Structure 1
Amino acid sequence: MTGPDSSPVVVIGGGPVGLATALVLARHGVRSIVCEQYSGINPHPRAHVVNTRSMELFRTWGIADAVLRDAVDPMWMMNILWKSTLSGEEFGRVSMLEVPEDQILARLNSSPVTITSCAQDRVQEHLLEAVRATGLTEVRYDTTVTAIDNLKQQVHLTTRSQAGTDTLTAQFVVVADGATGKFRDSLGIGMNGQPDLGHQLNIYFHADLSPWTDHSPALLVWAINSLSPGVFIGMDGHNRWTFNRNFDPATESIEQFTPEHCRTLIRDAIGDHSVDVEVCSVGTWTMSARTATNYRKDRVLLAGDAAHQFPPTGGLGMNTGLADADNLGWKLAAVVQGWASDALLDTYESDRRPVAESNTAHSVRNAISMAQSGIGPGSADVARQLESHDPSVASQARINLGVSIPLQRAHFDCLAQELGYAYDSTYDAPVAESHVQSNRVGARLPHVWIQREGSQISSHDLLKVGFTLIAGPAGTMWVEELNRSSTAVPHSSVVFGSDAHADPLALATLGLDDDSAILIRPDGHIAWRSNESDVPLTVGLAYAVAGAPTRQATQA
């Protein structure tokens, strides 16, 4: 399929998930066209948490350092505050440093990177730069896809731009047009879950809040008061902020929130009307907890918010979508390039949908916990108690906050939710504060520090585009077996003791004996291991690219 109006893959939506999908495709040598209805990246920052797994992906894609340059200082990630106003009384905090030592060590030892916060528009800028640098992706802004003709052999898309109406032809289409996109419904794909858990107003503004943040930096500051309750989110640790508050569409309209009104709300929440506030943009959004009933309709696949939507309590929305892109991208590349069957694409849903359901449950639990404690968006009752003229009522409200605030830690610190899922239908991601890396089939390759060519690197740095075989010091026969198979599947190999060096503890963490081997998928998850199965290596690889369940790679 060639020509300016055709592409192996068309991606609808130029947000983080759409751009990430295009980047993964390009890394595997597959061209794509990204159609985005807007004229460029939306400067209004929405998502901001970049969790550990997403930072690992960014490290692989070569943009982690750029993202960190735009992220908040690490000290901002250490605290979540609840105060009367930004300048007022502190009621409590969740400190990421006040945890058991094993929890801190687990986060330090489980990955070469860690969670951070970087505004979504900055993340998109770095993804866009990386996508364009590949030379394999055309990003078309001001281009709206108005119709998809989902044929069996190829897909026809009708587009509208300033140049007029056009037709695109693709082998596959990825719908990454967000929670409010229209194509999921037009494909006849439903959603399970709760569509309306509440409404929020988000104000993006610039202001110097350093008089209060310099001495007490915090990623989130919840303001609990009756005048202007909400939450401040520092987008860059300097002057970019968002302020989120409840919004009632039955009694309020977006038109009411003029720049002057928003400035007043923000200053009330700061507790200081002398602050210079520049209101940049205002938007509303609906909090929901839903997952698509199907991730695929013939040659069209869903990713990101088009496939799943969570409450923000956990910061998992964008991050789940980025991992969707990593999983789907290599599988589309494999099918387009002919080294995997179309059935491989069915494993995209069986891999990713359970993760979305687990993340939904985690996010809803967090939202319920905050609501029941009265310290989330609906803090009006607690605010009235805190401001009561009865000293005993106000005192008891402060005591209650002191008890309930520390219970919110899982909302902000759950490494197992970030890294603990495995692509195996028999496996449920653990919900636990202390994460232990797994080397079982289906799990992400554990991170350990190793030596190669005199430098310390992560085990993740051994992975190349395609499959990677990693063998113990006496496991060269596995490399020979893979090379003898003359497989068309792109692959590389590493033998400890010659290509890289690791101590016994690192090898044990990877699950490698002296003469064993593990096979890693292009998305960093373990596809097969010699010391778990009687299945030959080549059969395990064949299962992985034929769309067979991952667990079959461990069955004779």
Structure 2
Amino acid sequence: MMSKKITTVPVLIVGGGLAGLSAALFLSRHSVPYVLIERHQKTNIHPRARGLNFRTMELYRELGLAKAIEEIGTQLAKGKGWYTAHTLREAEFDPEKMDIPKILPESVKSYFATLKEISPASSVRATQNLVEPILLEAARERGGDLRFHTELTAFEQNEDHVRATVLNRTTGVEETIVADYMIAADGAKSPVRQMLNIKMTEMNSHGHIINIYFEADLEHFVKGREFSACNITRTGAAGVLLAINNRDRWCYHVSYDFEGGETAAHFSEERCREIIQKAIDLPDLQVKILSVLPWEAAEKVAEQFQQDRVFLIGDAVHLMPPTGGYGANTGVQDAHNLAWKLAAAVHKAASPELLKTYEAERRPVAQMTVSEAGRVADTGVFSAMKKQTEKRISPFDDLIVSVGYHYESKAILKQDAAPSSLDHFELKGRLGTRAPHIWGEYQGRECSTLDLLGLGFVLFVGEKAEGWEDAAKYVSGQFGVKINTYSVGQNGDFIDKDHGWQNAYQAKEKSVVLVRPDGFVCWRCEEHIEQPTLTLEEVFAQLLGKKRA
């Protein structure tokens, strides 16, 4: 009997969707080899997520992929607004009759002005089935080991490693993969989560829905008046029509009676076609059903995001209604938070204690995000879900959920007592928050402070803060971590012509701000330090949970 092939790798990623592919790219950026397995033959054929928020686009900008993703987003860029109509044929796509945004009108201009101030990136209307191939191609070009049509069948872990059995579904050959760590990005029904017996806490449910992805030429209906979504109210065909390219690709969401025993099996291609024809009010419309997916508009968060050497990200640990578009974005940001910590552990620069901060930081954010998605769902904007409130929402809630939260863990020094909430949006360089964006000049070109982040730690220092560059070089060698130092000011490495440093970071000429590889402020001081090397040694010993080499 032939023995199984054994592959040894630092990280095994289970799942090749948006979160898993993003994790692969982030690990690659930190020089961590990995194997990614995905049970399907190809990336997603169903659109699923339809947008990436500005924070996710900041991360793809960091990877050099923002431009490619923006280009595929042009298909949906014209489509704006949510509407309600009896049928699509009767719809009046008049901006004055738009359902969305159901927000406080006076705050809209302020929202967009704030968005421009806080980020060099913009949100992109791009569907998941178009984004994933871009990520996959980039991961392969950067040397990743990605194996599609390969399924995890079993795994076990001990103090030293995870030992997984995987099956190549094309050849039928099994293989053993021994990894230091495993990332489960295997979706809402996560087999890994179930194998670990990790429970999901259900906070609320907004009903069960069938998502019908179909092809039908409706360009003549919408050309010149493109839209994002339309709630259809016609009896027997009520649902939500989502534009995928505003020409011939669409999704129609219809609620079904799960409690009454109705299932996806009741939605044959013929029935789906009839529902769509009735909703559009064209009985002879040629409709091709591409895929049918049942889903629950639930609010759920896993009780654990980590179990020993296994980490879970994305839908494997949090489920939320699509209202707000937070689900996929939250998964990408999970991966970004985790990747640099795994890299530090794999490269022996940090103790395993650092890895525990992944759950400590991301689980509270997931809980807040899931709650906000549910709150938006309660407004009834997505008619396939039940309306439960007449309250309006503020666009600033979206900013807080996207980037305005803050972390509390051992990887943030000198804790800030205020918890993350939807009460107030502010990015001022506070501990545990994403480092503020300001425009400036570096090496003769315009760039954002965020463009300097991502590879190692970054130390921003005021022009009169002395001794920190030498201290960073010494501590970098002692701890085996990369620390890039930039003086900021009128004559600094990063030329700050408009005094954005003082305003955005609430900084002084002697201020020092330490930013983690994931772009979050983890330590700062405002006054002169007599022994910066000793101070920085103490900071990194606490951050990484280990003494110097």
Residue number in structure 1 paired with 2:69:
67
Q: 1:123 aligns with which of 124, 131, 143?
A: 131
- Stretches of structure 2 lacking an aligned partner (at least 5 in a row): 410-416
> How far did residue 78 of structure 1 move?
4.1
Superposed, 1:481-520 pairs within 5 Å as: 481-485=471-475, 486-487=477-478, 488-496=480-488, 497-508=491-502, 509-520=504-515
Confirm whether residue 113 of structure 1 aligns to residue 121 of structure 2.
yes
- Which amino acid in structure 2 is aligned with residue 49 of structure 1? G
Alpha carbons 2:211, 2:253 under 8 Å: kept = yes
For the pair 1:423 / 2:407, whether they are aligned, the reply is yes
The correspondence for 2:365, drawn from 346, 355, 360, is 355
Specify the alignment match of 2:414 in structure 1: none
CA distance in 1, matches of 2:303, 2:421: 23
Aligned-pair CA distance for 1:376: 2.0
Shift of 1:251: 4.4
Q: State the partner residue of 1:453.
A: 443
Asked if the contact 1:78/1:97 (under 8 Å) is kept, the reply is no
1:146-172 CA-to-partner distances (Å, cap 9, x unmatched) read 111111111111112224222111111
Q: CA deviation at 1:195?
A: 7.2
Give CA-to-partner distance per residue, 1:396-448, whole Å, 9 cap, x none: xxxxx9x95xx55458972221110111264433326x843231011001111
Q: What residue is the counterpart of 2:14 in the other structure?
A: 12
Q: Which segment is superposed worse, 125-134 or 244-253?
A: 244-253
Structure 2 counterpart of 1:444: 434
The yes-or-no answer on 1:210 pairing with 2:216 is no
Matches within 5 A, 1:48-59: 48-59=50-61
Among residues 147, 166, 181, which one is paired with 1:140 in the alignment?
147
Preserved contact between residue 344 and residue 547 of structure 1 (Cα < 8 Å): no
CA contact (8 A) 2:473 2:483 kept: no
**For residue 526 of structure 1, what is the aligned residue in structure 2?**
521
Query: Whole-Å Cα distance in 1 between the matches of residues 392 and 243 of structure 2?
Result: 19
* Alignment of structure 1 residues 37-436 onto 2, 5 Å: 37-72=39-74, 75-76=77-78, 78-90=80-92, 92-95=98-101, 99-100=106-107, 101-135=109-143, 137-161=144-168, 162-194=171-203, 196-249=205-258, 250-370=260-380, 376-378=383-385, 408-410=392-394, 414-424=398-408, 426-431=417-422, 435-436=425-426
Question: What one-letter code is carried by the residue in structure 1 that aligns with 2:438?
Answer: V
What is the rounded CA distance, in whole Å, between the counterparts of 2:333 and 2:508 in structure 1?
Answer: 30
Distance change >3 Å, CA 114–CA 408, structure 1 → 2: farther
Paired residue secondary structure (2:276): helix
Call closer, same or farther: CA 1:483–1:378 in 2, change over 3 Å: closer
> How big is the shift at 1:328?
0.6
- Pair 191,223 (structure 1): closer, same or farther in 2 beyond 3 Å: same
Aligned residues: 518
Hey, what's the Cα distance between the residues in 1 that align with 2:77 and 2:174? 50
Which 10-residue stretch deviates more, 110-119 or 242-251? Answer: 242-251
Q: Which residue of 2 aligns with 1:389?
A: none
Taking the aligned partners of 1:103 and 1:411, their CA distance within structure 2 comes to 6
CA drift at 1:339: 0.6
> Unaligned stretches of 5+ in structure 1?
383-400, 549-556
What is the CA–CA distance in structure 2 between the aligned matches of 1:536 and 1:234, rounded to whole Å? 55
Report the more deviating stretch, 224-233 or 22-31: 224-233
**By how many angstroms is 1:54 displaced?**
0.7
Per the alignment, in what secondary structure is the counterpart of residue 5 of structure 1? strand
CA contact (8 A) 1:75 1:218 kept: no
Shift of 1:76: 4.0
Q: Which amino acid aligns with 1:350?
A: A
1:546 is matched with 545
In the TM superposition, what whole-angstrom CA distance separates every residue of 1:92-144 from its partner, at most 9, and x where no partner exists? 42258955332221122111112222111112111111111111x21111111
Quote how far apart the aligned CAs of 1:75 are: 5.0
Instruction: Give 3-state SS (helix, strand or coil) of 1:93's partner.
Output: coil
Q: Which deviates the most, 462-471 or 484-493?
A: 484-493
Deviation at 1:292, TM superposition (A): 1.3
Do the aligned partners of 1:528 and 1:537 also contact (CA within 8 Å) in 2?
no
CA 1:524 to 1:238, structure 2 compared with 1: closer, same or farther past 3 Å? Answer: farther
- Match of residue 536 from structure 1: 535
Report sequence identity in percent. Answer: 31
Look up the equivalent residue of 1:512 and give its one-letter code: A
**Does structure 1 retain, via aligned residues, the 8 Å contact 2:104–2:392?**
no
Q: What do the CA deviations read for 1:290-343 (whole angstroms, capped 9, x no partner)?
A: 111111111111111111111222211111110000011110011001111111
TM superposition shift of 1:547 = 8.7
Whole-angstrom CA distance in 1 between matches of 2:546 and 2:52: 30
Q: Using the alignment, how far apart are the partners of 1:74 and 1:447 within structure 2?
A: 27
Number of the residue aligned with 1:387: none
CA contact (8 A) 1:343 1:546 kept: yes
Q: Which amino acid aligns with 1:458?
A: S
Contact 1:103 1:435 in 2 (8 A): no
Q: 1:342 to 1:512 in 2, by over 3 A?
A: same
In the alignment, is the contact (CA less than 8 A) between 1:417 and 1:429 conserved in 2? no
The change in CA–CA distance for 1:63 and 1:408 in structure 2 (over 3 A counts) is farther
Cα 1:188–1:330 shift into 2, 3 Å:
same
Tell me the amino acid that sits aligned with residue 506 of structure 1.
G
SS at match of 2:431: coil
Paired with 2:84 and 2:392, the residues of 1 have a C-alpha distance of 11
Q: Deviations over 1:234-291 (max 9, x none)?
A: 2234432211110223343433433333222112222333543322111111222111
Is contact 1:77-1:116 (8 Å) kept? no
Query: Could you say which structure has the higher helix fraction?
Result: 1
- The Cα of 1:58 is off from its aligned counterpart by 0.9
Post-superposition shift, 1:196? Answer: 4.9
Whether contact under 8 Å (1:449, 1:459) holds in the other structure is: yes
3-state DSSP of counterpart to 1:243: strand
State the SS of the aligned residue for 2:441: strand
